[in-house]
Amino acid sequence: MTHLKSTFCVALFSISLPATAANQPIMEGAFLLSTLTICLLVVALILTMRSLAIKSHKLKQFRTSFSDLLSETSGVIAVLDKNLVLRNGSGTLKRLLKADDSATISAPLNLYADPDGKTLLDNDIKLALRTNGKWQGEAWLLNERQREAFELSIHSVQPDNVRNTTYLMYGQNISELRKENQLQLQQQTRDSLTLLPNNKVFDELLKMVLQSCDAHYPSAAVIFIHLTPSYDNKHNEAKLQQQLPEIAAKLQQVLPRKLLLARYKTDGFVVLVPPHLCNHNSSIYLNQLAHKILAGINQPGSDDSKAIEVFAHLGISISPNDGIDAESLLNSAEKAAYKASQQGQNNLCFADSGSQEQAPDYLAMETELYRSAAQGEFELYYQPKFSISSNRIIGYEALLRWPSPRRGMLPPPTFMPLVEETGLIISLDRLVFRKACQQVKYWQQTGLMRGRLALNISNQQFEQADFLRFMQNTLQDAEVSASLFELELPETIFTQPTVWLRERMHSLDKMGFRLILDNFGEGVSSLTQLRQHPLHGVKLSPTLTKYIEQQEQQRNICATLIRLANYLTLDVTATNIETEMQAYLLHVMGCDNQQGHRFSKAVPADEIGQLLLKENNLLNNTNLASG
């Protein structure tokens, strides 16, 4: 540096030689000033180069530290571009994405809201980043082998206006934490051995179910299942505990999914039967269900060589007779199970003595039903439909009766739950249609036919693959027309695929049947369903018309439904009419077609002629009086 200064000074001196002696002080001052400036510039250059060297060293250290952080951290760190494409990331993230462990990578970072990878979060994240400059939340990162949940934060980083916006993402894996939380929740609500709901969950659900009971569905039921080993000792009790998961699996197989099964005690399960399954003849259904449970528990297991014989004792309680709250209903069921254990192994007992008297009759009734169905011993009764405006019979409804050899003539509510559960409903529906065709043919020949004959079609029969062919063949064999029949269809048919359902209903319509939606207003049929299917009429649910005399709300509902049906050009029929006031109110609302005991009960076919004669005499007397 001294050599550089000397050379530079000599050069300046040589340049200033031509100057006069008078200018020498000025020249010397300039020379000194120039020398000082150059020295300052050199010092500044040296300082700048040193500063750059220090910054370069720090940057190298930062990059090394950042690389170490990316490779060693258990969390996820990533640098993303504006399209959420990964530019660099931690080793954990790279391994999850199967990316090469290089300093920079370029791969799309797909974040999902669910572990199945169905809902992509990219658009939501981009919107939040554009709006707020950050996004926080839970997201799933997936690959072919695993799926991991992360709690993530993404922030925008924009160093200057020249370079594009980048995003910094960081977060932690919370998959294990989620598993622990789920395990804790499961321990609070599930039995750890059988994985069934525990007694706390059952108690709460039973309370809710009992609170939901109303005038239409007033009852719920509890089945208490008490298990005991064939030989009562500590060894067998331990064996019983080991068999409980397999017993629980057997119960789940035999019980319908709409019932709640829970483990309630060390050696017991409970079943909750909801109100819509506890109708007026629920004892038949519960009886059958109890026998299914007993049979299911005793069916062969996967490893009978190590299993011990287990006895089951069932107690059944029904609200509100056996208890108005959850605690009393459960106590009644448990006491009934104890009584069942005293009566013998693998037994059942109802808490109510009246229901218990019917319990042993279940198997006998089922046997009788099969025999009667095979021999065609069921009979049809016919209830007339009346037009209020004309006071005339405008049609009939065929209603099934069972002339049981032991019990006498039984109406459908006493045996239909058993018929539906055993699958006899399909063969009985077909028996009814064959008998109805023969009856209609006879009425046509004798002049007793009025309007159409209505038939109830079960959902099971409607779903049969050969249903249309059976209906057509039966009509041809009897030589009657489909236009003489109305098919009353349950709302449950709307659970079928729409295209299939529409095609089937159009086929029935083309054959000539009139299609009526039964129990309208009770289920879930919508305006769209009424419009898109070829329905000709609706039949109001009896639960709507039962209280129209006493309840203004029921009157308003009935009037609204009738107006809706009339707007859709659907005929409306009201059933179960018991009083003259019910008939009058419905007539004022616009419902002219009615049936019920107010007009006539269901009668055998040979009494129809007397009804028509009575009707003619009444009309003749009315005409004479008016004349």
Q: Do domains 69-177 and 187-359 have the same CATH topology?
A: no
Angle (deg, nearest 10), helices 24-72 and 2-15: 150
Cβ 293 vs Cβ 313: under 8 Å: no
What's the pLDDT score for residue 65?
57
What's the pLDDT score for residue 35?
81
What's the pLDDT score for residue 7?
45
More confident site: 197 or 352: 197
What's the pLDDT score for residue 513?
96
pLDDT, tens digit, for every residue of 461-498?
999 999 999 999 999 999 999 999 999 998 888 888 88
More confident site: 567 or 97: 567
What's the pLDDT score for residue 68?
56
Longest Cα–Cα distance of the chain, Å, equals: 161
What's the pLDDT score for residue 4?
43
376-414 in b/e form (b: 16+ CB < 10 A) is eebebbbbbbbebeeebbbbbbbbbbbebeeeeebeeee
Long-range CB contacts (< 8 A, 24+ apart) of 75-79? 75/170, 75/171, 75/172, 75/173, 76/141, 76/150, 76/152, 76/169, 76/170, 76/171, 76/172, 76/173, 77/168, 77/169, 77/170, 78/109, 78/168, 78/169, 78/170, 79/166, 79/167, 79/168, 79/169
Structure tokens at 362: 């279940």
- Give this prediction's pTM: 0.55
| Helices vs strands, H then E, count in the chain | 21, 21
pLDDT confidence tier of residue 9, bands split at 50, 70 and 90: very low
More confident site: 352 or 2: 352
Q: Is the pLDDT of residue 126 over 50?
A: yes
What's the pLDDT score for residue 596?
92
pLDDT confidence tier of residue 5, bands split at 50, 70 and 90: very low
Task: Report which secondary-structure segment, H or E, holds 468.
Answer: helix 467-478
More confident site: 414 or 137: 137
State the CATH class of domain 376-613: alpha beta
Whether CATH 3.30.450.20 fits 69-177: yes
Q: Is the pLDDT of residue 287 over 90?
A: no
Maximum average pLDDT range among 33-37, 104-108, 247-251, 288-292 = 247-251
More confident site: 346 or 619: 346
pLDDT, tens digit, for every residue of 36-52?
888 888 777 887 777 77
More confident site: 174 or 329: 329
CA–CA distance, 196 with 245 (Å, rounded to integer)? 9
Q: Is the pLDDT of residue 159 over 60?
A: no
pLDDT, tens digit, for every residue of 525-565?
666 677 788 999 999 988 888 889 888 888 998 999 999 99
Q: Is the pLDDT of residue 81 over 90?
A: no
Q: Is the pLDDT of residue 256 over 80?
A: yes
| CATH superfamily, with its number, for domain 187-359 | Reverse transcriptase/Diguanylate cyclase domain (3.30.70.270)
3-state secondary structure of 222: strand
pLDDT, tens digit, for every residue of 16-30?
445 455 567 777 777
147-171 in b/e form (b: 16+ CB < 10 A) is bbbbbbebebeeeeeeeeebbebbb
Q: What is the 3-state secondary structure (H, E, C) of 284-349?
A: HHHHHHHHHHHHHHCCCCCCCCCCCCEEEEEEEEECCCCCCCHHHHHHHHHHHHHHHHHHCCCEEE
What's the pLDDT score for residue 355?
58
What's the pLDDT score for residue 284?
74
Q: Is the pLDDT of residue 594 over 80?
A: yes
Main-chain dihedrals φ then ψ at residue 390, nearest 5 degrees: -105, -10
Maximum average pLDDT range among 161-165, 263-267, 523-527, 604-608 = 604-608
CA–CA distance, 467 with 313 (Å, rounded to integer)? 42
More confident site: 627 or 231: 231
Angle (deg, nearest 10), helices 361-375 and 282-297: 100
pLDDT confidence tier of residue 105, bands split at 50, 70 and 90: low
Q: Is the pLDDT of residue 362 over 70?
A: no
DSSP state of 566: H
Domain ranges of the chain: 69-177, 187-359, 376-613
What's the pLDDT score for residue 516?
94
Mean pLDDT of the chain: 82
pLDDT confidence tier of residue 592, bands split at 50, 70 and 90: very high
Cβ 485 vs Cβ 452: under 8 Å: yes
Q: C-alpha dihedral over 459, 460, 466, 467, to 10 degrees?
A: -40
Q: Tell me how crowded residue 185 is: count the other CB atoms within 10 A of its CB.
A: 10
More confident site: 32 or 621: 32
Q: Is the pLDDT of residue 579 over 70?
A: yes
pLDDT, tens digit, for every residue of 365-405?
778 888 888 888 899 999 999 999 888 999 999 999 988 88
CA–CA distance, 422 with 301 (Å, rounded to integer)? 24
Range with the lowest mean pLDDT among 243-247, 305-309, 414-418, 513-517? 305-309
Range with the lowest mean pLDDT among 188-192, 241-245, 324-328? 188-192
Q: Is the pLDDT of residue 210 over 50?
A: yes
